[in-house]
Structure 1
């Protein structure tokens, strides 16, 4: 962890390395966090490891540069969750948050953290890169909420969230999308984008049962060009309804 000269901003990173332990389970030879990141292994079911990402301080603030890097070696199984939502807060300029996820052959990653919330006056630039080897399995849930409840009730509105997600499978790009939501982003609240909703999320599966096709509502299920890859995207008025929409449509 380092401080950016001349500001109160931070540069910090967390790293997780998972590998088979030789006894049918998954070991974590690297579990390291700094700054706002604390990582804890918890008891889980089955052969996989379960890591919880805990925010040890308010972050990201404008100007911060944060990164989370997760690598699964071939055959490892890992579930990563978080203890609370990630709330971006105002500061001098946008905050930058990078997520790099690498999943080896026959490894399985379940990425299911709590939502990212863009508080009023903030701007978070979120960049996620996922590299999947042939035969890797992935369940990736992403939830984004514009503004906290009291931001809206006090007339502050949302912050801005610029997000890009790139997924490669066996070296080939199967998904590369960018969204720019919140004040300052062109047309973000119009009918072609959020259409008055305040929460957007997606559930990406690769090599696992795909989400079920939505019967109705503001959601869409797409087959991706990769092998066994599907993407469910949903909009909702708030984070709770978004979670229900995604949780109720997972494949069995």
Structure 2
């Protein structure tokens, strides 16, 4: 029998304030998901996601929803890494991210790493819906196990839509119970940190960055739209972040 875990949702709405800045008419979180507005940078509003409790634990259902209106700019980060733990409740935990950006809006989604600990079970679903003319930087980083620890089971799906058409739709599963070969040479090759960066910019319609290798285990690939995908593997979280930061800087 599965024991119900914690249910929590955080919501953010960003709007052009008509004075050269971005207002946040909705900024609410509950339970373990707390939101804090931090100092703005120019016309960009900045929000920090703060974990008020441990989790997600087994059976938990967390969700974060953000909507960016026309001409609004929003950057979302997190105060610390998210740590998936087994907990006392049985069953898989779930973490859903739902993001929407209107034409002329911009979203930078830059949370800290997700760490999958031993015996945890977590399914992460991220869905980004963009309107033509919007801009996006989406970073996702996952670390399989703490130092000297085997990972739990982690499944992550990322879907990015532009004008209702898919730019990217992919899923990766790692750890016990995942399809065979996830740790083999064709997938992670023994690495324990994996990440990706999706960058969508209207100017890529005129000049798309060339595909290229970035370091030893990373690559930049154009997508079927004004977007690029950077995928990277690394031995640890620090190295992974360095590779993704360098890739973003190289895009301007």
TM-score bin (small chain) = over 0.9
Higher mean C-alpha displacement, 161-170 vs 200-209: 200-209
Task: Give, in whole Å, the separation in 2 of the partners of 1:167 and 1:6.
Answer: 32
Structure 1 segment 167-182 matched on structure 2, within 5 A: 167-182=160-175
1:211 and 1:232 in contact (8 A); partners too: no
Assess if the C-alpha contact under 8 Å between 2:210 and 2:222 holds in 1: no
SS of residue paired to 1:43:
strand
CA distance in 1 between partners of 2:242 and 2:76 (Å): 19
Query: Does residue 205 in structure 1 map to residue 199 in structure 2?
Result: yes
Q: Return the offset for 1:6.
A: 7.8
Aligned match of 1:232 in 203, 207, 230?
A: 230
**CA-CA distance at 1:213 after TM superposition:** 3.5
Q: Report the Cα distance in structure 2 between the residues aligned to 1:200 and 1:29, rounded to whole angstroms.
A: 35
1:25 counterpart (21, 24, 32) = 21
Give the number of aligned pairs: 242
Say whether 1:36 aligns with 2:32. Answer: yes
Match of 1:223 in 2: 222
Gaps of 5+ in 1: none
Which residue of structure 1 lines up, in the alignment, with residue 158 of structure 2?
A: 165
Normalised TM-score (structure 1): 0.92
Runs of 4 or more above 4 Å deviation: 208-212
Partner of 2:190 in structure 1? Answer: 196
**Other-structure match for 1:53:** 49
Structure-2 change in CA distance of 1:34 and 1:191 (3 Å): same
> What pairs up with 1:1-252 in 2 under 5 angstroms?
7=3, 9-91=5-87, 92-149=90-147, 152=148, 156-185=149-178, 186-207=180-201, 213-226=212-225, 228-250=226-248, 251-252=251-252
Unaligned 5+ segments in structure 2 are none
How far 1:80 moved relative to its partner?
0.2
Structure-2-length-normalised TM-score: 0.92
Q: Kindly tell me: are residues 6 and 212 of structure 1, through their superposed partners in 2, closer, same or farther at Cα, counting changes over 3 Å?
A: closer
Question: Any idea what SS the aligned residue of 2:241 has?
Answer: helix
Change (3 A) 1:22 1:69: same
Partner Cα separation in structure 1 for residue 2 and residue 230 of structure 2: 43
* C-alpha contact 1:194 1:235 (8 A) present in aligned 2: yes
> How many Å separate the matches in 1 of 2:110 and 2:102?
19
